[in-house]
Every structure is written in C-alpha cells, then in structure tokens.
Amino acid sequence: MGVGPDCHDRGQALIEAGADALFIDAATGHTSRVMDVISQLRSLSDRPVVAGNVVTLQGAKDLVAAGASAIKVGIGPGSICTTRVIAGVGMPQFTAIRNVADYCREHGVKVIADGGIRYSGDVVKALAAGADLVMLGSILAGTRESPGQSVYYQGRRFKTYRGMGSLGAMKKGAGDRYAQNSSGKLVAEGVEGRVPYKGPLSDVIFQLMGGVRSGMGYLGATSLEELRERAQFVQITSGGLRESHVHDIVMTEEPTNYQPLG
C-alpha cells in the first residue's frame, strides 16, 4: 500500500481481510509521511508493518522509532529503475545494507534487500552483508507465473517487465509511490522492456537456492548467522569483475542460472 490520503482506509480493509502484515511501499521511506502512516497502522492492529525504502542509518533509525517491524533497503538498484540517473539519488545496494543491518539486528527489526539481484551469488552477498531476506524482480519476471505478457522477438520467447516508476505503471496508479499525480504529466524513474522466458518459477527457485547453499558451503556456514560471521569482503576492480564472469570463450549453451555480463 502507498501513503496516499486513503492509506488509513486501505490499511483497515487489509486488516479486516486477514492480512498477515501491512506493507508500506514508497520510493523513499525516510519521510515524515511514511513515519506517520506507520504510527497510524500500528494503532489499528498489532500486525507487523514493513516500511521503506531507505539506504542510510538515520533512515533506518527513524523507521524503527516509528514502529516498523521490517525495513526495505534500496534506492535505485533494480534493473528497470532509473532513479539514480534521473533524480541523482541512491546508494550502492551492498553499502546500503551494511549501513542499516547492525542497528536493525540490535533492535529485532528485519532487513529486506530490495533490488540489485541478478545472480544467486548476489543473494549470498546480500545475506552475508546483513539482509534477512531479498526481494526479487527481474530474475523472476521471465517465469511462467509472472504477470507479464508473453511476446516473441527474433524467434525467442520473452515476457514484458516494467518498473514501478515507468510511465506505464504510473499511469495505472503507481505514481503515488513517487509522489506524482497519475492524471497529469509524469517524470518516469523506470523503464519498460522484456526479459527472456525462463519457464516455471520452481525451476528458477531451485537454481537460486542451489547457489545460496553452494555459497554457504564454500564458507562452511550452516546458518545465516554463520554466513555473516565468516564472510570476508574485498573490493574488486573492473578487471576482477570481468574475470569473475565467463570469458575468452563463445558460449554454445547458456545455463538457466547464468547470463553473460553486459
């Protein structure tokens, strides 16, 4: 739910419908409006309230003080998001997670890493950095169960995918997330496109979970807590990034859990 004028009524309706938790979705969660809405929703019910998005320690502190049970982290890391370019605002996702993770853990508040996940290894790094869970967009957008429309291009099957900040999404009502009125002119902070079709969701989840288990196995970690304790981070160069990916070969068969860098 957004933070528009109807948020109180929507929150009440969700509670009456039996929602397990209330999820406040705003492009930036570090605002007085979001904190007011958190307080309002907490007064209606004892159900957990998830709020975001933030990327700074102070943002996390203020949302925790307002009563958030979990915090969504990330501004601009998504594959279809242009906020960092259009608005000039954002932070690398790894840094954002590290900024808030320790404080949130001390206060029993969960950290949700929203965006920036392209491979299963990115999930491992997000969890090791301090996230309790991750939100996935593009990596699941090509699955059979995703809501995107199937299209064919040059003999290959794709599914349409768009960001919440795209013109199409804002015209459908998502403009509230970016404090824009969908009835007037809009300034997009996202794009619309297509992603390769990947088949059933279960196949993608199987590969993701396999990658996470493999990453934990390399570190000898049997739990997420051990993963965080044992992980060591280094900053790599662009050359190191290229070295990490497939190189010096023409791929003749592309595995389902990998796409070349580029």
Residues annotated catalytic, as ranges: 81, 177
CB 52 within 8 A of CB 73: yes
CB 49 within 8 A of CB 21: yes
Neighbours of 258 (CB within 10 A): 16
Rounded to whole angstroms, the Cα distance separating 131 from 112 reads 6
Kindly give, in sequence order, each residue whose CB lies less than 8 Å from that of residue 216, ignoring residues fewer than 6 positions away: 124, 222, 226, 227
Neighbours of 196 (CB within 10 A): 14
Neighbours of 47 (CB within 10 A): 16
CB 48 within 8 A of CB 109: no
